[in-house]
Amino acid sequence: MTDQTLLTASHLSVTLSGRPVLHDVAFSLSPQHLVALVGPNGAGKTTLLRALAGLQLSTGAIHIAGDALASLPLRERAKRFGYLPQGHVVHWPLDVKDVVALGRYPHGATDPARLTSSDKAAVERAMRATDIVAFADRRVTELSGGERSRVALARVLAVEAPIVLADEPTASLDPRYQIDVMKNLRDVADSGVLVIVVTHDLGLAARFADTVLVMSNGRLAAQGSPQQALSDVVVAKVFRISAYRAEHRNETIILPWAGV
Amino acid sequence: MVSIAPAARRRTVATIALVGLVTLLALGSLGTGPVKLSPLTVLDALFGGGSDVQQIIVREIRLPRAILALAIGAILGLSGAALQGLLRNPLASPSLFGAPQSAAFGAVLMISLGLADVRSWALPVAGITMAFLSVFMLLGIAGRNAGLLLLILAGLAISSLAGAATALVMNLSPNPFAALEIAFWLLGSLEDRSFRHVTLALPFIVAGAIILMSQRSAFRALSLGEETAQSLGVNVSRLRLLVILGVALGVGGAVAVTGTIGFIGLIAPHLMRPIIGHDPARLLIPSALTGSGLLLAADIAVRLIPSTSDIKVGVLTSIIGVPFFLYLIMRERRALGGGVA
């Protein structure tokens, strides 16, 4: 294993009620990368993300910085993965700052009213990075969908984990917020974190990701740079579409165009 | 950094005020009855002053009753807050998983077998045993890693079973007096309870409370949903087991010595949310104090309300509690934007 590898998976399989959902998935990913995990509905993207976060029992091996994930206690695992689930549910009208402070839970800061100075600093950094300082004292239930998604992201960033897993963070957001969220995640990756993002938006994947993992029927159909992994052949085979491609300000545009 | 002082100060002030209120109500409970005593006389008698009669009234007759009201109200409030935190649902209450109903069945069985008079410990022991059995049944039916919906449905089945078993016992009771005794016992009362009841129930109530309090911070993480809580390092299936166990111990012990006292566990957290906020971890202690206050107040009220026969405290809490429950359902319906029926 080289210094440049943070997360590896080998022979990773998941079976849900007798049905194989993930089959023999293998990859190795480096820090300071934004990885887009794409694939049609039911391809196993969320399952893969949950297996990585330790939320889903799997066979095979996952190693993070050389440690086997299965051997890590729950707390330790929680310190290494920031997990952003779909939907950003908050069941009680808690204050925004208290929700973000829950990101320090794996570090032993279980009460937002009693944070150590390093916990406070981490919470502050996370709120500044996501630009939510202005509504730190508001209740999370009073915020708009876009604002709430930033709070959820801030909570994940406050963990200050080496790996961030985000499950469709741009779903149900307006175009502006989609770009904001992806830019936020890009900044997080640039700061040295390995960010894995599940998305249905091939355009956002091509534009913001360094690496794209394409899933199909529980297997990895392709992996590599956006150009390689989202080639015409792969897109036609996996998504059964053709895509319009262009360049804009030195960035790649992929626009799903028609079924094939 | 944002200041957290005002909210924290309000919580502290509210908690201290609650402690004061509960203390006053406890003194009131010691002073209320056929012989009315002033709070000063009560304090005097409590610490060995006053006449022999006053001492016996306060220390032997009314003190166990007040202690039970305090402890049982607290465990009901605490269990309610813990379950609402676990289920992330403001309509959850301690009776949800069938432990109180099962405890009531165990106690009723002892009454009908005539063991309650001979051995006063038979009743609580049977109640607590049944509460435990109900937990094992619940986990057996729903499975160790069951989701909440499954647990709730299994709890519904178990509480229905316990209710049916209780009805059967009443049905088979040898004479109408036994049936009447059971019926009255089920209504829930703190009358004529002695220190033996206190020593029987208190260890279970304290153990239940300790288990629930030890999980307090997990409830906060659980506000973000089970998946996120798990990803933050909370062992959610273990938490679920511990909460159900804590509720069964505490509420089982409580029901076994007093019969069923409803709605305190449901109401207490709601009274506190406007003052303390919605953080489920911070709600636990204020809800326990509110539960104590509510049960002490209700138990004073049943002694003051003039009526031809005694009004049972469980009846009073239900009569006040049910309209409140209906109000909550209506409010939830509006909050969820439910259709106009």
Angstrom CA distances, B21 to B69, B238, B293, B295, stand at 14, 36, 7, 12
Contact B231 A111 (CB under 8 A): no
Cβ–Cβ contact B228 with A under 8 A: yes
A contacts of B220 (beta carbons < 8 Å): 98, 102, 110-112
Which residue from A77, A89, A97 is facing B225, i.e. has the nearest CB?
A: A89
Q: Long-range CB contacts (< 8 A, 24+ apart) of B235-243?
A: B235/A74, B237/B144, B237/B145, B239/B86, B239/B215, B240/B86, B240/B146, B240/B148, B240/B151, B241/B139, B241/B144, B242/B211, B242/B214, B242/B215, B243/B82, B243/B83, B243/B86, B243/B211, B243/B212, B243/B215
**Is pLDDT at B1 greater than 50 in this prediction?**
no
Residue A114's closest CA among A90, A94, A98? A98
Angstrom CA distances, B44 to A208, B49, B52, B280, stand at 77, 5, 12, 39
Distance between CA atoms of residues A25 and A196, nearest Å: 15
Cβ–Cβ contact B245 with A under 8 A: no
What's residue B339's pLDDT?
A: 39
Contact A102 B8 (CB under 8 A): no
CA angle B297, B298, B302 (to 5 degrees): 120
- Return the percent helix, strand and coil in chain B, to nearest 5: 75, 0, 25
Give the best-scoring range by mean pLDDT among B21-35, B84-98, B138-152. B21-35
* B296 vs B90, higher pLDDT: B296
Q: How far is B216 from chain A (nearest CA, A)?
A: 9
Cβ atoms of A152 and A127 closer than 8 Å: no
Contact A78 B233 (CB under 8 A): yes
DSSP string, A205-236: HHHH-SEEEEEETTEEEEEESHHHHT-HHHII
Contact A55 B231 (CB under 8 A): yes
DSSP designation for A252: E
Question: Side chain identity at B238, as an amino acid letter?
Answer: R
Cβ–Cβ contact A91 with B under 8 A: yes
* B112 vs B24, higher pLDDT: B24
What's residue A2's pLDDT?
A: 44
% of chain A surpassing 90 pLDDT? 70
**Is pLDDT at A55 greater than 60 in this prediction?**
yes
Q: What are phi and psi of A176, to 5 degrees?
A: -60, -45
Q: What is the pLDDT of residues B108-167, one digit of tens each?
A: 898 888 877 666 678 878 888 898 888 888 878 877 666 778 888 888 999 999 999 999
Residue A81: other Cβ atoms inside 10 A: 27
Q: How far is A48 from chain B (nearest CA, A)?
A: 14
- How deeply is B195 buried, as exposed, middle or buried, from its count of CB atoms within 10 A (0-12, 13-18, 19+)? middle
Q: Is the dihedral of CA B200, B202, B203, B205 positive or negative?
A: positive
Q: What is the pLDDT of residues A148-201, one digit of tens each?
A: 989 999 999 999 999 999 999 988 888 988 998 999 999 999 999 999 999 999
Which residue in this structure is represented by tokens 């402890």? B71
Distance between CA atoms of residues B302 and B296, nearest Å: 10
Distance between CA atoms of residues A179 and A112, nearest Å: 30
Cβ–Cβ contact B217 with A under 8 A: yes
DSSP designation for A56: S
Cβ atoms of A238 and A220 closer than 8 Å: no
Residue B190's closest CA among B324, B316, B288? B316
A contacts of B231 (beta carbons < 8 Å): 53-55, 78, 81-83, 85
Q: What is the mean pLDDT of residues B262-280?
A: 91
Contact A105 B234 (CB under 8 A): yes
Which residue in this structure is represented by tokens 């506000």? B223
Q: What are phi and psi of A198, to 5 degrees?
A: -85, 130
Radius of gyration over every alpha carbon of chain A, rounded to an integer in angstroms = 18
Cβ–Cβ contact B232 with A under 8 A: yes
Cβ atoms of A13 and A22 closer than 8 Å: yes
For A:97-136, CB contacts with B below 8 A are 97-99, 102-103, 105-106, 110-113, 120, 124, 133, 136
Cβ atoms of B60 and B276 closer than 8 Å: no
For residue B230, list its beta bridge partners: none
Cβ–Cβ contact B8 with A under 8 A: yes
* Average pLDDT over chain B, rounded to an integer: 87
What count of CB pairs under 8 Å joins A to B?
85
* A122 vs A260, higher pLDDT: A122
Q: Is the dihedral of CA A191, A49, B89, B252 positive or negative?
A: negative
Cβ atoms of B321 and B336 closer than 8 Å: no
DSSP string, A90-148: -SS--BHHHHHHGGGGGGT---TTS--HHHHHHHHHHHHHTT-GGGTTSBGGGS-HHHH
Nearest CA in chain A to B1: A124
Q: How far is B85 from chain A (nearest CA, A)?
A: 9
What is this structure's pTM? Answer: 0.89
Residue A155: other Cβ atoms inside 10 A: 30
Question: Side chain identity at A202, as an amino acid letter?
Answer: L
Cβ atoms of B1 and A133 closer than 8 Å: no
Cβ–Cβ contact A233 with B under 8 A: no
- How deeply is A215 buried, as exposed, middle or buried, from its count of CB atoms within 10 A (0-12, 13-18, 19+)? buried
Distance between CA atoms of residues B245 and B265, nearest Å: 16
- How deeply is B46 buried, as exposed, middle or buried, from its count of CB atoms within 10 A (0-12, 13-18, 19+)? middle
Q: What is the mean pLDDT of residues B247-268?
A: 90
Contact A97 B233 (CB under 8 A): no
Question: Side chain identity at B340, as an amino acid letter?
Answer: V
What's residue A49's pLDDT?
A: 93
Q: What is the mean pLDDT of residues A41-63?
A: 91
Contact B223 A94 (CB under 8 A): yes
The yes/no answer to whether this complex scores an ipTM above 0.85 is yes
Residue A97's closest CA among B305, B225, B214, B4? B4
* B329 vs B267, higher pLDDT: B267
